[in-house]
Amino acid sequence: MALARGGKTDTAFITPFEESGGRQSATWDEATSFYRRLADKYENLKIKDGGEIIVGSPMMAVYYNGRLGKGKSTGAYEESRLQPAIDISNMVVILINNGIHAGEPDGIDACMMLLRDAAMGKVNVPDNVFLAVIPVYNVSGALNRGCCSRANQNGPEAYGFRGNGQNLDLNRDFIKNDAVETWFLNGVFLAVQPDLFIDNHVSDGADYQHVITLLATQHDKLGGETGDYAYKTFTPMLYTDMRSKGYHMVPYVNDFDNTPENGWTEFLDLPRFSSGYAALYHTLAYVPETHMLKPYKDRVEATYQLMLTFIKTASEHADEIKKVRKHDFDADQKNTLFPLEWTVDKTISDSVLFSGYKSGYKPSGVSGLPRLYYDRTQPFQKNVPFYDHFVPSKSVKAPKAYIVPAGWYRLLALLNDNFVQLETISKDTSINVTEYVIQDYETVQKPYEGHYLHKNVKVMPHTITKSFRKGDRIIDLDQPAKRYLIETLEPEAPDAFFAWNFFDATQQQKEYYSDYVFEDIAAGLLKNDAVLRRQLDSARKADEKFAASAAAQLDFVYRHSAYMEPGFMKYPVYRIE
């Protein structure tokens, strides 16, 4: 029996979710066929194809606005074709992403019904709202379909897999850009420049009564007037509107090691995550998380209602949203200090009315040892602390510009794909710059999303005059991507390109020496260089172990001589102050 909402629905556009009574989710073929048929019939909906990706299946974006003219699919991907066919500069732009984890398909089915109902006029999407929807983001994951990969999830009957065709978690890829899918989504994001970004998910973790929770990008990190507006005004309006529909929504329950009845800390969405990436562009970003143990029908309906809430609230407050975002883009050009890392402030919290279930321990049927369980016969409701205030723990002064040598072509290509404005140096020249020497860092012991991530990076800055060649690139920070550039090109940032191994080759020494040959050279250096002699003497006096090691002293002379390779441990992105 179909779950059709108010008004008659064309039977050609009943979704698999509705046809199955809320038990099934659309396959990738069903979803894309649905949208193509919808676009063929309704002129207010346009399809933007993403070309062929690794699995041989095209990605797709769907644009909706009541003023879009009649037209069909735009065909294969071209950069210009990601641009909307109408002027959207005075509209509030909402970008909705679905199926980034293809085993969490709630948004896939909710948006099929949403765009159909909008196209048919069954729900009102005001003309000052422009919708851009990624129907199924993780296409290869959606095609890897089964019943059981999400052991904790209550339906649907079949769904896709979390990883993509490279087994990457696409919600960790927004800086490193290892996946073609990320390249496409970033292209859509930068083409439409959304005021709101919504990434639909399903939660894991504790059991509780709430059907849906909401992760908002951390407001202190979002910063400026946009962060303040999101925290004090826009997000509370979302909760109020959902409450009027019968949904008691709470912030995403970010607690996996303990039960949440004593409160929890807000999730800190670094730029590797979709909402954290969006925050680099002052976009109000949200990650709805339906609760895994609720029936699939209830989860999809809650997602649908929340999408309507976003549309209604954004439309009514479009001018305010545009105003605060413009203010912060303008303020970026005047700001000199930018935070890189954040720490939760446990001295302050908000109060959340949490509806949970009493938890306890009982003998495990597997091990016989105590195991956690939640007793649904003992529901409770109480106010709990929500620690959602963060303070900067590391900041950096912004340079005027960066310089990237042309040899780092993969990085330059990625910056170009992210619409960064690059200026090419027209002739060989020397420029006064700040150069970082990498002093120390830690590296994870196991691979994380295809990388051995670096952390706790420490650098030493030096002012030098360096020769640059024709073709090297200057990146002036007077551009909308300023914050993106700072948080990716400053090596101490947690999601910097350095952390993601883009520059690991600089951390490996390529040349060395044979002891018996360099002994005579080193002796000559010490004879002719009084400063080097004093440095060596000081090092001997400071360290007995060093003074007793001939190899260590010879290496010291080598590293303080012109024979030491100049690029070793040097970070090859330079700052113009």
Residue 217 in this model has a pLDDT that exceeds 50: yes
Please state the length of the chain: 577
Residue 70 in this model has a pLDDT that exceeds 60: no
Residue 4 in this model has a pLDDT that exceeds 60: no
Q: Are 194 and 205 in contact (CB under 8 A)?
A: no
| Residue 11 pLDDT | 77
Token pair 């400053």 is at which residue?
490
Residue 76 in this model has a pLDDT that exceeds 50: no
Residue 74 in this model has a pLDDT that exceeds 50: no
Distance (Å, rounded) from C-alpha 150 to C-alpha 147? 8
Residue 53 in this model has a pLDDT that exceeds 90: no
Distance (Å, rounded) from C-alpha 556 to C-alpha 257? 48
Q: Are 208 and 354 in contact (CB under 8 A)?
A: yes
Distance (Å, rounded) from C-alpha 557 to C-alpha 529? 11
Q: What pTM, to 2 d.p., does this model score?
A: 0.93
Judged by DSSP in three states, 333 sits in: coil
Q: What is the mean pLDDT of the chain?
A: 94
| Structural tokens at position 10 | 């064309």
Residue 372 in this model has a pLDDT that exceeds 80: yes
Distance (Å, rounded) from C-alpha 98 to C-alpha 61? 11
For 440-452, what is the mean pLDDT?
Answer: 97
For 31-56, what is the mean pLDDT?
Answer: 85
- What is the share, in percent, of the chain residues with pLDDT greater than 70? 95
- pLDDT range class, residue 71, cuts 50, 70, 90: very low
| Residue 204 pLDDT | 87
For 534-540, what is the mean pLDDT?
Answer: 96
Lowest mean pLDDT across 9-18, 95-104, 501-510, 552-561: 9-18
| Residue 85 pLDDT | 83
| Structural tokens at position 202 | 């399903």
Top CATH class, 11-332? alpha beta
Distance (Å, rounded) from C-alpha 469 to C-alpha 358? 67
DSSP character at residue 450: T
Express each pLDDT in 226-242 by its tens digit: 999 999 999 999 999 99
The two beta strands, 250-251 and 201-202, are unpaired
Q: Are 489 and 422 in contact (CB under 8 A)?
A: no
| Structural tokens at position 279 | 């925050």
Express each pLDDT in 107-123 by its tens digit: 999 999 999 999 999 99
| Residue 73 pLDDT | 41
- pLDDT range class, residue 78, cuts 50, 70, 90: very low
**All CATH 3.40.630.10 domain ranges in the chain, comma separated:** 11-332
Residue 441 phi, psi (nearest 5): -165, 160
User: Among candidates 217, 200, 295, 302, which has minimal Cα distance to 251?
Assistant: 217
Instruction: Residue 70: count other Cβ atoms within 10 Å of its Cβ.
Output: 9
Residues 6+ apart with CB under 8 A from 268: 218, 221, 342, 344, 390
User: Among candidates 414, 501, 415, which has minimal Cα distance to 457?
Assistant: 501
Distance (Å, rounded) from C-alpha 422 to C-alpha 177? 19
| Residue 79 pLDDT | 42
Q: Which of 71-80, 85-94, 421-430 has the highest mean pLDDT?
A: 421-430
- Burial level of 427, CB count in 10 A (0-12/13-18/19+)? exposed
- pLDDT range class, residue 81, cuts 50, 70, 90: low
Express each pLDDT in 250-264 by its tens digit: 999 998 778 899 999
Element (H, E) at 457: strand 454-468
For 30-47, what is the mean pLDDT?
Answer: 95
| Residue 50 pLDDT | 79
For 315-334, what is the mean pLDDT?
Answer: 97
- ∠ CA 310-312-313 to the nearest 5 degrees? 65
Maximum C-alpha span of the chain: 94
Express each pLDDT in 148-172 by its tens digit: 999 999 999 999 999 999 999 999 9
- pLDDT range class, residue 68, cuts 50, 70, 90: confident
| Residue 6 pLDDT | 55
